[in-house]
Structures are given as C-alpha cells and as structure tokens.
Homo-oligomer: A and B are copies of this chain.
Amino acid sequence: MNNIKNLIDDKGVKPTYHRIKILEFLQNNKNHPTADKIYEEIVKYIPTISKTTVYNTLKIFVEKEIIEELTITGNETHYELTEDTGPHHHFYCTQCKTIFDIEAECNQECSKKNDIDGNKVQSYQCYYKGICCNCLRKNNNEMNN
C-alpha cells in the first residue's frame, strides 16, 4: 500500500484513492487485464468509480511509465506494471484469449535500446500468437473422444 503510494508519488502523480487501488490491482493481477476487466474488479470495492476514471488513470500511468500497454489482440489494450523483473515476451493464445509471459532468452539487447537508427525508442514489445499448450491438450483430448 505504502510502496504503491510512493511509486505514484515519485513519478509526480497525486496518489488518490482510485489511483492507488487501480495500481494495487495491477500489482496483484499479473494476467495482463484490460481496462474493462480492471473496472469490473475495482467497482466491487468502489461502487461509484466510473469507467472513464479507469481509462484516465491508465493513460496517466502509461505516460509516466508506471505501467505499459500491450497492443496484441487488435481490439483491446492490456496492461501490466513496468516490471523490475527484466524483459520478457508475451504469448497470446488465439483460442482461449489468454496472455502470459514468455522468458526472453534472446534479444536482451534490443529491449534496452533507447535509440535505434536515430529514432527515439519509448517502448519495446515482442509477442507470439498461437495456441497455448493447455488448449493444444484440450483439443487433442476432444479429437480422441
């Protein structure tokens, strides 16, 4: 709670109750939620919160690089904390729509560049799309029945 407050404060963002709760949720949910998912969960605890506030807050957090946005699926943005856990890739399962982390065993150097060919880099993302192992197994079981 307090470290979250400081995290926001340090970036020059006023740590309001709403903002703290949203960041807290992202810290406890590493499954790359969408704005809508965040709203659905937060509204259980803050019934008066509006979806616009969630969008506004997420936008501020992205600008301040407190969180990062993942644009993988094409129709909704997912969010994650700007982690201290080092660079990682993402896997998006087109069947169950889940996004999960993939250890980035290669291109560590790419992720650290803040300049490439004279262009100023603000963020770097890599993602795989495909069928996750859970769905593969499920599909296989259904085939054999």
Interface-forming stretch among A4-12, A23-31, A37-45, A118-126?
Answer: A118-126
- How many chain A residues touch B (CB < 8 A): the figure is 34
A93 contacts the other chain (CB 8 A): yes
Determine how many copies of this chain the complex contains.
2
CB-contacts of A40-89 with B (<8 A):
69, 71-74, 77, 89
With A106-B110, A133-B117 known as contacts, the answer to whether A126 contacts B125 (CB < 8 A) is: yes
**How many Å from the CB of A24 to the closest CB on chain B?**
24
A109 to B72, CA, bound (A): 21
Contact indicator B131/A120 (Cβ below 8 Å): yes
Report B-chain residues with C-beta under 8 Å of the C-beta of A109.
106
A143 contacts the other chain (CB 8 A): no
A94 to B109, CA, bound (A): 22
A118 to B74, CA, bound (A): 24
> Could you list 6 further interchain pairs (A-B, Cβ under 8 angstroms) beyond the known A102-B117, A118-B133, A120-B131?
A71-B71, A71-B73, A71-B74, A117-B133, A119-B128, A123-B130
